[in-house]
Amino acid sequence: MNSTTERKYMDALSEGDEQAFESLFLHYFPRIKGFIKGILQNEEEAEDLSQDIFVSMWQNKERLKEIENLNAYLFRIAKNAVFRHIERDLLFRDYQQQETESPGFTVTDNDTPEEDIYAKELEYLISVAVKKMPPQRKNIYTMSRVEGLSNDDIAERLSISKRTVENHLTAALADIRKIIGFFLFSLF
């Protein structure tokens, strides 16, 4: 969709034109949903959040006259929606259970309350990334990072090559970096 057509749709939508909304929805919904799914790795959550974004867009349609770049606007809203979703999950999480299930960051007396909160959030985001990994990748990551086994030991225990272990660890760390990168990006 070119920028002139998009602007016409946005202006029409701001006046309540349902067909303009439908055109913008059909153009942007798959892209927004794909973006969210890429972060959350969950089809249903991506679908729900994407729908919420477009419901909000309809409810606040008058504001579209002020928007210069709809693409950037929608992706910024999507990023914020994902962050709020992750934050909500974090708030409802039982920290005691989380700490007993996996080793956590050690909080020292020198940490400020903000640092403690960020450490807990980061710990939670890493645990989310690990839980969403395929079983073999999750198992290899846990054996390496939690149990402290070497790549050779993991390969021997699982009867796979050391190279396969390395590939799984590389993919696991990429998954974690993606979530941490999003987390850090959203802080600033």
148: region left, alpha or beta (phi > 0 left; psi from -120 to 50 alpha):
left
Question: Which of 89 and 53 is assigned the larger pLDDT?
Answer: 53
- For 30-87, the pLDDT digits (tens) are 999 998 888 888 888 899 999 999 999 999 899 888 888 898 899 889 888 888 787 7
Residue 26 near residue 20, CB atoms below 8 Å: no
Query: Model pTM?
Result: 0.52
- HSE value, Cβ hemisphere, 13 Å, CA-based, for 92: 5
Enumerate domains of the chain plus CATH numbers: 3-92 (1.10.1740.10), 95-187 (1.10.10.10)
- For 105-164, the pLDDT digits (tens) are 444 445 566 666 767 777 777 888 888 889 999 999 989 888 889 999 999 999 999 999
